[in-house]
Structure 1
Amino acid sequence: MNELDFLKQHTPARIGVGRTGTRPLTKDSLSFRIDHAAAVDAVYGEVSQDLLDQMGLFTVETRYGSKERYLKRPDQGRLLSEEGEKLIIEKCILRPQVQIVISDGLSASAIQKNILDVYPTLLDSLSVYNLSAGTAFFLKGGRVGCMDAIGELLQPEAFVLLIGERPGLVSAESLSAYMCYRPQKGTKESDRMVISNIHQRGTPPVEAAAHIGTMIHKMLEQKTSGVGLDI
């Protein structure tokens, strides 16, 4: 086996693709178009209401307005709509140990494909450490910084945001889990932690969820997160 064949066996990246003259082979061109279409569908898709109903999640919206505005104005995905703030105050437990929020982010496909494995396992992992979760909900049009706005309202000890990652040509179904101790307005990015690349061909969803529970346990023990956490 030559070095190129060895590398191709160990990465899903497009390396060593064939060409005919200056053009890629038909099979490689079609593969690219399929993966690009999946990425577009992930960004512009919607998490099904049936799935949200199955999980018992109500929906809160940010100020994203529309998908086009969401892509052009990331700041609007960090802010809650007025109606969203009212729903959170009305329906959520105040000052929970752990607040879990699920958001489509940049990939609705990530939620559709992974959340039924991640969410129940995360709850199980928290229960192993005798930790309780507050009222989970679905946040439409969310960005990572929305943790701070929600943290201001609910004042959780620890926060977990399960959010769809920006899709690429390797996977359009990748989920990230962002964690933070007592998030609030002005929280620094260095105070957040993340487990990314959660999908069947990356970090297995069940394994990732179990690890999230362990990280939350350490955060609450040490009363910190991010670069200050001793892991």
Structure 2
Amino acid sequence: MDYLRHQHSYSDDELVTGAKIAAQIGVSGAAISKATAKGRLDTFRNSRGERCYHRIVSAQQWSLKKDRSKVTTPTRGQMAAGYDNMDAQATAHIIGNENPQAPKPVSAAVQGIDYGAAVQERQELEVSKAEKEFHMARLAKLKADEMEKRLVDKQTIYIKSYQLGAMIQERLMNLYVQLAPKIVGTFQEQLGEAGIDAEKMRVAMKDSVHDVGELIRKECIVALKDLSEKTVENYFD
């Protein structure tokens, strides 16, 4: 809409030409003219009757009414900031990002209209939609993994892990019963072959099975304690 001088209360200092608003937003003058012709941008007559744009309101109108789904290339302001086509498309949902290096207006000076609130609401809506699409895609992937048997129930993992741990603990704690007699028996055979008197050897090694078994049992306890204290952070240490 083209507001005549008596239809708004802006001073000439608040109004700028199309070229200046284009430079402020970071787009071409042709883009401003096209948006004005389509009714996306309002104009305001100054005291000389010239059609102008408002420094804050026009920038916010541009952000509010831009069709971001059609963004394919960077604006002049984005090119000056080093953006390429992919950068422009990736940040199209960000309100007011046409000129990344320019300060962003946060409130509008239009009586009865708060373009700042409208811009913020639209940005929050676009972010919410993006988050929803992300989570929907994540849920779809999880569903597909579940159907293809790539997911396992967490409770099942806990139960199986506990059962496996209990089995390992039981096997380790019973090792000394099996190993101690074998170790002592091996030593007795070697000492007998070396000519040691059997009776003296029997007396000397009467408690060997118990002593060796205790050594094995204690080392198993230390190993189990070390394993049980492992966390995600130190698992591979």
TM-score by length of 2: 0.20
- Give the structure with the higher percent helix: 2
TM-score by length of 1: 0.21
- Give the structure with the higher percent strand: 1
